Amino acid sequence: MAKALTVFAVDIGPHMHMDIGLVAEALRTYFLSKVVNKARDECALLYFGANETRNAVHEEMAAQGSFDDYLHIVEEHPLKPPDQAYLEGLEPGQMPRGQGRSDFIDAVSVAADILNKAVELRPELEKANVTKEIVLISSLQERVKEAEVHEFVAALVESLKEHNVQLQTVLVDIEKQGDDAAREYNREILSELAEEIRHKDIIVQTPAELLGVFKCKEYSNTAYYAGPFTLGPNMNIRVKVAKKAKKEMLPSTKLYSDRSRASDATHEVQREHEYKDASDPDTIVPPEERQKSYKYGKQFVPVSADEEAFLAYKPERGIHLMGFMPAESIPQYQFLKDPWVMVPEKNNEKSGTALAALVRALHNKQSVALILFLPRVSEKTGGNPAVCAGTPVLGNGAGPDHLVLNHLPFAEDLRVAKFTSFEAKADLLPSEQQVQCMSDLVQSLDLQSDTKELLAADTTRNPTIHRFYNHAACQAGGREYPLPEPQEDVLVRETFLPDGRVVSGSQALLDSLPELLPIVYKETAPGMADLKDEEGGELSAAAFTLEGAAAPAVSAVGTSDPISDFNAMVKQDNLDAAFRSMPDAIVTLVQNSMGNRNYQKALHALEAMREAAVQHGRGASFNSTLEDLRGKFESATQHQSFWQLLMDQQVTLVSTEEDPGTEVSAAEADNFLKQHASKGQVVDEEPAAMAVDEEADEFADME
Amino acid sequence: MAELEYNAEGIDGEEDGQEREWLPSRDNVVFLIDAQAAMFEEAGLKDTPGFAESDRWFDVAVKVAKEFIKSHIISSDNDRIGVVFYGATETGNQNNFDHVYTVVTLDEPSAQSIRDLENMMGDDFEDKVGSAAEGSPDHLRNGLWAASQLINTGSSRANKRLLIFTRDENPAGTGPKAESYRERIAARAQPLHEANVTVEIFPLTRPGDTFSMTFWNHIIHAGNDEESGVLYEEGSDTMYRLQSLPGFTRQKAYRKRASGRARFLFPGGYKMAVSMYSLVQPATKSSPVFLNALNNEPLKVESAFIDQDTGAVLTEVPKRIFPKFSDPNLYKRIPPIILTSEELRSIRITQDPGLSLLGFKPASCLKPWHTWRQSNFVYPDERTMPGSTTAFIALHEAMLSQERVAICTYVRSRNAEPRLVALMAAQEVKDEYGEQLSPPGMHMLHLCFADDIRTPEVDKNLVGEFFPEPSAGQVREAEKLVEKLTMEDSYVGMYENPLLQRHYQVLEALALAETPPDVEDSLKPDHEWMLSTANDELESFRNSVYGANHNEPGIGKKSASTPKKRPAPEDDPALKDALAQHDYKALAASGKLGKLKVDDLKPYLRAHGLKVTGKKDELIERITEHIDSQP
């Protein structure tokens, strides 16, 4: 089975101190992702430029009487599958900063030695499907010792080649400092080293680039289809097709319940489905009384297993040329779904030549191939046909010339709609000056400077996934690290917010826009509800965790048994905290409620609070809570029926009759119920029916 | 709405970050088809797909209605469609308006409505309904009346469309009473306008013939486009031509339904309002629904989270444990962490929905592998923020002329993760008749992150390390082939999806208790065309690469490979251990294999050389079969 061995040689010397926090973050997310996604892969971690010296090569040399070699290199973790210890040493602030001096060639030698020894010890690692790699992370500012360096590098290259070791260098170039000459010299030596082995060089110039240097998950590139690509009835090219891109999701998590406090609790949660008769919701219909059906218009058509087979589309699998089209006739916005890549069969000279000739011809003619794509057909469920545009991509030596395949819409996928021509909006057309201003902006707000393209898809990491791994990696040691606010999260900021350096050049243009192209901002325009700022209170309420109840001394009201918590606190005479945290608990209960499951609990909690409020003269506190709840739920899209429930249950304000401390008369309290109860019932049948439609529609296009 | 429904699925969907688009509201569509004598002339349509040359105009109209219903079943089956004839002999409608015959009453489409329409074509019509003996302005008047009754049944929030198919330029006639007839007819159209019904006229005329809209412009509703707040000019958007018939029947939603509105924010705070539309939406076959076998009523599915320790039904969104390992030993390497839904939410960075501009780059920076889903269409939303249109058009022009795209952060909804998108300006394209082929605006392309992109084309395990160079001659032969086989048309939904066509044709037959038809597969490479246009080029290209007597093998002639040796359990201690864990035979005999986890089932399959893929039910079935087949 394929497997990867990676030795990290990480510079922690004085020149790296500024960026060590970023390096630690990149490494801990990498190691965690290895455990989660590639549990068999092994990693070693070497620090160089460290204060101390602790590595096998030094020890061997010392045993031979030479004590001054391979100094300040520390083997932090030997080659093995990474575990908790790797992450703990890389938690924020934990990664060491060294004052030692050691050059990167020495570090790479020690790294190579680790790989060599591993292969000697476990010959099965010699196999070609075991990837061996050294990753060097350094700013390359510590000048390499010059004595016999070329001979040394040559010997190192030989040793790396022997075991087919790849080298990846991450050159940290964020702060320009130190000795340029030394860096230049080091780069020369580095290219001498890398030249003859498989290597990849990455230069990182921004913190975001450093954080995103490793992918969150590596995929092995397996062929989804291997077989002929037919060009007419008489010619085949043998090809393989693999995924080129697929939206990477957040890592998967498992449901967890802390309901049971037993020491041997599994904490597992299962999702169970019940099929109920629509007219009689109390009857559960057993499997043998369930009939599978498909919707056809308004009808549900019962379909037996035999008929089901007949529904499936079962052509022969294969990939066929349908014709060619000028590239500009298929704009990219017509592409659907994930792209694929079509490469020639490995080591097949004829197919390789044929596909390369075709790709170059398409490239020269600025054309794309129209391809019928039916890679797999299952005996039972049939195949999922697609028509794809095959765009030619030249390999340029790094790979074969190939086609990228993008799904195109079928007739059924198109929704034709007509939009008014801009020319028809004579009174809304911009003036020349207005267009000029936008033109200048389009030019100056430039993401492609002379040197590099900013936010290029091929190199921009997904900040959300990185954030997830980083957060989880930080918690591995059991210490709590608060999640950084989004605007303090480097990757989030540099990816999703405008880059100050880009914007600064366009500031004057941006400032002139409101005057030159005035726009009336109607805050409460209908239909813009989704743009309105949600009530600010939500987050603080959400931050209220459900763990409170487990704590022995009750210091806040939890959600698992709010009434007991509340009463306990009242008993402890901790009235302030009790009345402060109860509303939070109620809101949390309601907001986390699936459907109406928590409503009764929240209602009872609120009633208990009201009772205590009357007893302890805290009516005002209750009244403001009730008003808050009204603000949150009375006309909310979710949990509106909770408010209804309160009104149905006649939960009203505490009046002066009950607690003289309030400023609400008995009549006002009565009125409160009338006023808000009636308002809630305005919801008539019609919109409710619509809402169901919307729901159905929302799910309609899910596969 | 889903308020009271306890649905664990929905929550999971949100957690998984599933992308959903939603289309609000439904359409009520009524076809009002003239059944007077002029409709029964032969239309003489040649080369119009779906129509026979002998079809009469009336048949054409009915076929259009039928195809319309069929396409709606596939793509938006909660729209409601009705079909009404006016000027018929028979009277058959709820309100007994004379000479009006409702053949399909306004409802969600069904197989029966398709069959009913089919039974109205050709001579059957004469037998069952018939054309009114005399033409009269009252026919249309009654027709409009009946249609407005029909179209206003049911949900008031639906988009309402009335499509009139006729050959009559001037139903009011030219006699002395013409003006009063016109007024009487227009009076019937009035309630339609008041109910916000869009009235569209489909004049059935041959290409080149003229059709005066003088009369009909009084009937057409000069509609107000709700979405963009733009007024239609009379007649401009509501007249169809015969040429657009095929396109018309495929049209899913005439009314532009915005799938969302967003604020488009520039650095520094300047903002405009835009609406988003889904002009492309991969259609999928309907997912199965379980019925109660006793009464064929759909069952309600409820799902619940069950705590496995206590058996209790959880009432709150459960917490999450990360990582999710199938091998519990891995928890020794990394202890799991527990995440509350609040934590997950703050990890996922919730931001205000909308588009935020980050900058511009050349359109050539976008590569074909940079998008992962269908694009959306963006059009200015003048109503929400007046001034947006002017600013949008200025930006549109600037981006078009510089061939640059805008890169933005896009947050679809409050719970959605932010993603990067590219806005690509597109020019309006019209056909020779002035019909809009593609609208003016911007396409929003959903961009990949580096984490989404894979690089199989440089993976030596997949492609090897040797890449043959074609000769200049070979490339030239390929170029000739490309030239010859270049298709003329532009690709706009050129093909129908045979998977959907088959699914729905078979369902239609089953719904009517008929034998499912053999569905012809139209999605095939057109070898006949290829050979007739480029036989020589195909052959020279093949010969230039392969030589005269060689071809690469096709499917089924797999290159010989040694069959994989299955490990005998005794050679594989891990497998042996796993097998010893369970008594498969006993479990199978008592029907309890289902109690095992998939991972426990697989060793058995592996040890006996059976396929290990598929759903759990399939695995169990396979094991049971195997055990049964053993002596």
Give tens-digit pLDDT for B232-266. Answer: 333 333 345 554 555 555 444 444 566 678 899 99
The count of domains in chain B is 4
pLDDT value, residue B23? 41
- Distance from C-alpha of B335 to C-alpha of B328, rounded to nearest angstrom: 10
Residues of B in contact with A303 (CB under 8 A): 288, 507, 510
In a domain, residue B154? The reply is yes
In a domain, residue B458? The reply is no
Contact flag B310-A331 (C-beta cutoff 8 Å): no
Task: Among B8, B254, B545, select the one facing A271 at the smallest CB separation.
Answer: B8
Q: What is the bridge-based pairing of β-strands A318-326 and A130-138?
A: unpaired
Q: Does A399 touch chain B (CB under 8 A)?
A: yes
Residues of B in contact with A200 (CB under 8 A): none
In a domain, residue A105? The reply is yes
- Distance from C-alpha of B69 to C-alpha of B47, rounded to nearest angstrom: 23
- Distance from C-alpha of B199 to C-alpha of B223, rounded to nearest angstrom: 9
Query: Is residue B377 domain-shared with residue B486, that is, in the same domain?
Result: no
pLDDT digits (tens, 9 = 90+) for A198-236: 888 888 888 888 898 888 888 888 899 999 999 988 899
Of the pLDDT bands very low, low, confident and very high (cuts 50, 70, 90), residue B277 is: confident
Quote the tokens at residue B187. Answer: 């009076």
In a domain, residue B291? The reply is no
SS (H, E, C) A316-379: CCEEEEEEEEEHHHCCHHHCEEEEEEEEECCCCHHHHHHHHHHHHHHHHCCEEEEEEEECCEEC
The count of domains in chain A is 3
In a domain, residue A694? The reply is no
Quote the tokens at residue A605. Answer: 């909690």
Contact flag B451-A641 (C-beta cutoff 8 Å): no
Q: Which of residues 556-615 of A touch B (CB under 8 A)?
A: 559, 589, 592-598, 601
Query: Is residue B442 domain-shared with residue B476, that is, in the same domain?
Result: no
ipTM: 0.77
Query: Is residue B86 domain-shared with residue B110, that is, in the same domain?
Result: yes
> B306 pairs with which residues across the strands?
A270, B313
Q: Does A143 touch chain B (CB under 8 A)?
A: no
Query: Is residue A20 domain-shared with residue A168, that is, in the same domain?
Result: yes
* Burial class for A440, CB neighbours closer than 10 Å (0-12, 13-18, 19+): middle
Which has more pLDDT, B486 or A571?
A: B486
Which has more pLDDT, B592 or B429?
A: B429
Contact flag B1-A691 (C-beta cutoff 8 Å): yes
Judge contact between A204 and A170, C-beta under 8 A: yes
Task: Among A39, A325, A338, select the one facing B491 at the smallest CB separation.
Answer: A325
Q: What angle do CA A114, A115, A121 make, to 5 degrees?
A: 90
In a domain, residue B86? The reply is yes
pLDDT value, residue A403? 96
Which has more pLDDT, B177 or B372?
A: B372
Query: Is residue B245 domain-shared with residue B338, that is, in the same domain?
Result: no
- Distance from C-alpha of A702 to C-alpha of B585, rounded to nearest angstrom: 39
The SS3 of residue B207 is coil
Mean pLDDT over A306-335 rounds to: 90
In a domain, residue B597? The reply is yes
Q: Does A202 touch chain B (CB under 8 A)?
A: no
Residues of B in contact with A338 (CB under 8 A): 372
Query: Is residue B190 domain-shared with residue B162, that is, in the same domain?
Result: yes
Task: Among B110, B111, B385, select the one facing A520 at the smallest CB separation.
Answer: B385
Of the pLDDT bands very low, low, confident and very high (cuts 50, 70, 90), residue A238 is: very high
Residues of B in contact with A324 (CB under 8 A): 482, 485-487
Query: Is residue A682 domain-shared with residue A645, that is, in the same domain?
Result: yes
Q: What contacts B45, CB < 8 A, 6 or more positions away?
A: B51, B52, B53, B55, B60, B242
Name the E strands within B347-416. 354-362, 376-380, 404-411
pLDDT digits (tens, 9 = 90+) for B170-215: 888 888 888 888 888 888 888 887 777 878 788 887 766 777 777 8
Q: What contacts B272, CB < 8 A, 6 or more positions away?
A: A519, B263, B264, B380, B385, B387, B388, B391, B392
In a domain, residue B463? The reply is no
Query: Is residue A608 domain-shared with residue A568, that is, in the same domain?
Result: yes
Contact flag A419-B228 (C-beta cutoff 8 Å): yes
Task: Among A39, A321, A385, select the one facing B497 at the smallest CB separation.
Answer: A385
Contact flag B333-A81 (C-beta cutoff 8 Å): yes
Which has more pLDDT, B608 or B56?
A: B56
pLDDT digits (tens, 9 = 90+) for A159-195: 888 888 999 999 988 876 667 788 888 888 888 888 8
Query: Is residue B280 domain-shared with residue B391, that is, in the same domain?
Result: yes
Q: In this structure, is the dihedral angle defined by the CA atoms of residues B422, B427, B433 and B435, taken in order, positive or negative?
A: positive
Query: Is residue B407 domain-shared with residue B421, that is, in the same domain?
Result: yes
Contact flag B523-A253 (C-beta cutoff 8 Å): no
Query: Is residue A241 domain-shared with residue A168, that is, in the same domain?
Result: no
pLDDT digits (tens, 9 = 90+) for A492-519: 988 999 988 889 889 999 999 999 999 9
Residues of A in contact with B286 (CB under 8 A): 294-296
Most confident listed range (A580-589, B178-187, B479-488)? B479-488
CB atoms within 10 A of CB B285: 20
Domain boundary (A413, A447, A474) is at A413
In a domain, residue B560? The reply is no
- For residue A221, the chain B residue with the least C-alpha distance is B456
Contact flag A447-B478 (C-beta cutoff 8 Å): no
Query: Is residue A326 domain-shared with residue A206, that is, in the same domain?
Result: no
Query: Is residue A77 domain-shared with residue A115, that is, in the same domain?
Result: yes
Of the pLDDT bands very low, low, confident and very high (cuts 50, 70, 90), residue A77 is: very high
Range of the domain at A112: 3-211
- Distance from C-alpha of A367 to C-alpha of A327, rounded to nearest angstrom: 4
Contact flag A457-B485 (C-beta cutoff 8 Å): no
Q: Which of residues 495-524 of B touch A (CB under 8 A)?
A: 495-500, 502-504, 506-508, 510-511, 516, 521, 523-524
Mean pLDDT over B310-320 rounds to: 80
In a domain, residue A304? The reply is no
pLDDT over 70 for what percent of chain B?
A: 84
Query: Is residue A234 domain-shared with residue A369, that is, in the same domain?
Result: yes
- For residue A467, the chain B residue with the least C-alpha distance is B347
- Distance from C-alpha of A654 to C-alpha of A666, rounded to nearest angstrom: 8
Task: Among B4, B17, B457, select the one facing A596 at the smallest CB separation.
Answer: B4
Average pLDDT, chain B: 79
Of the pLDDT bands very low, low, confident and very high (cuts 50, 70, 90), residue A110 is: very high
pLDDT value, residue B16? 33
Judge contact between B192 and B231, C-beta under 8 A: no
Residue B348 carries which side chain, given as an amino acid letter? Answer: R
Q: How far is CA A37 from the centre of its chain?
A: 14
How far lies B360's CA from each of A77, A668, B365, in Å?
Answer: 45, 59, 10
Q: In this structure, is the dihedral angle defined by the CA atoms of residues A79, A85, A91 and A94, taken in order, positive or negative?
A: negative
Judge contact between A587 and B342, C-beta under 8 A: no
Contact flag A267-B321 (C-beta cutoff 8 Å): yes
- For residue B497, the chain A residue with the least C-alpha distance is A410
Query: Is residue B532 domain-shared with residue B581, that is, in the same domain?
Result: no
Domain boundary (A353, A384, A413) is at A413
Q: Does A666 touch chain B (CB under 8 A)?
A: no
Peptide bond into B323 cis (omega under 30): yes
- The rounded radius of gyration (Å) of the Cα atoms in chain B is 31
Query: Is residue A233 domain-shared with residue A171, that is, in the same domain?
Result: no
Q: Which of residues 436-475 of B touch A (CB under 8 A)?
A: 436, 439-441, 443, 445, 447-459, 461-464, 466-470, 474-475
Contact flag B461-A129 (C-beta cutoff 8 Å): yes
Query: Is residue A233 domain-shared with residue A191, that is, in the same domain?
Result: no
Of the pLDDT bands very low, low, confident and very high (cuts 50, 70, 90), residue B614 is: confident
pLDDT value, residue A640? 82
Quote the tokens at residue B260. Answer: 């969302």
Query: Is residue A66 domain-shared with residue A194, that is, in the same domain?
Result: yes
The SS3 of residue B12 is helix
Nearest to A8 by CA among A37, A31, A32: A31
Lowest mean pLDDT: which of B227-236, B517-526, B610-619?
B227-236
Average pLDDT, chain A: 83
Q: Does A247 touch chain B (CB under 8 A)?
A: yes
Residues of A in contact with B253 (CB under 8 A): 415, 417
Residue B285 carries which side chain, given as an amino acid letter? Answer: K
CATH number for the domain including A236? 2.40.290.10
pLDDT over 90 for what percent of chain A?
A: 30
Residues of B in contact with A332 (CB under 8 A): 366, 368, 371, 375, 424, 445
Residue A391 carries which side chain, given as an amino acid letter? Answer: T
pLDDT over 70 for what percent of chain A?
A: 91
Q: Which residue has the tokens 């403001």?
A: A624
Nearest to B357 by CA among B431, B293, B274, B284: B274
Q: Does B378 touch chain A (CB under 8 A)?
A: no
Phi, psi of B354 (to 5 degrees): 140, 180
> A199 pairs with which residues across the strands?
A167
In a domain, residue A12? The reply is yes
Q: Does A550 touch chain B (CB under 8 A)?
A: no
Query: Is residue B166 domain-shared with residue B178, that is, in the same domain?
Result: yes
In a domain, residue B353? The reply is yes
pLDDT at B506 exceeding the cut of 70: yes
Mean pLDDT over B459-475 rounds to: 90
Query: Is residue B42 domain-shared with residue B13, that is, in the same domain?
Result: no
pLDDT digits (tens, 9 = 90+) for B131-152: 887 778 889 989 998 888 888 7
CATH number for the domain including B395? 2.40.290.10
Residues of A in contact with B339 (CB under 8 A): 253
- Distance from C-alpha of A144 to C-alpha of A48, rounded to nearest angstrom: 13
Q: Which residue has the tokens 């109660």?
A: B292
Range of the domain at B493: 472-546
pLDDT at A598 exceeding the cut of 90: no
Contact flag B359-A446 (C-beta cutoff 8 Å): yes
Contact flag B270-A519 (C-beta cutoff 8 Å): yes
Task: Among A457, A596, A598, select the one facing B453 at the smallest CB separation.
Answer: A457
Query: Is residue A639 domain-shared with residue A598, that is, in the same domain?
Result: yes
Q: What is the bridge-based pairing of β-strands B354-362 and B436-438?
A: unpaired
CATH number for the domain including A162? 3.40.50.410
Contact flag A275-B301 (C-beta cutoff 8 Å): yes
- For residue B521, the chain A residue with the least C-alpha distance is A315
pLDDT at B224 exceeding the cut of 80: no
Task: Among B304, B398, B414, select the one facing A439 at the smallest CB separation.
Answer: B398
Q: Which of A1, A210, A466, A701 to mutate to test the interface with B (most CBs of B within 10 A)?
A: A701
Query: Is residue B501 domain-shared with residue B371, that is, in the same domain?
Result: no
Judge contact between A530 and B396, C-beta under 8 A: no
The whole-angstrom distance between A157's CA and the closest CA on chain B is 20
Q: How many CB pairs under 8 A join A and B?
A: 836
Give the residue ranges of DSSP H helices in B153-255: 178-194, 245-250
Contact flag A215-B450 (C-beta cutoff 8 Å): yes
CATH number for the domain including B131? 3.40.50.410
In a domain, residue A237? The reply is yes
Quote the tokens at residue B292. Answer: 């109660």
Lowest mean pLDDT: which of A119-123, B216-220, B471-475, B501-505?
B216-220
In a domain, residue A454? The reply is no
pLDDT value, residue A649? 82
Judge contact between A63 and A246, C-beta under 8 A: no
pLDDT value, residue B570? 57
Query: Is residue A207 domain-shared with residue A236, that is, in the same domain?
Result: no
Q: How far is CA A252 from the centre of its chain?
A: 11
Query: Is residue B221 domain-shared with residue B325, that is, in the same domain?
Result: no
Nearest to A75 by CA among A43, A103, A105, A101: A43
Helices A619-633 and A599-615 cross at an angle (nearest 10°) of 150
How far lies A531's CA from each of A523, A632, B264, B559, in Å?
Answer: 9, 17, 11, 59
Quote the tokens at residue A191. Answer: 């290219």
- Distance from C-alpha of A470 to C-alpha of B333, rounded to nearest angstrom: 17
Residues of B in contact with A473 (CB under 8 A): none
Mean pLDDT over A64-89 rounds to: 89
CATH number for the domain including A544? 1.25.40.240
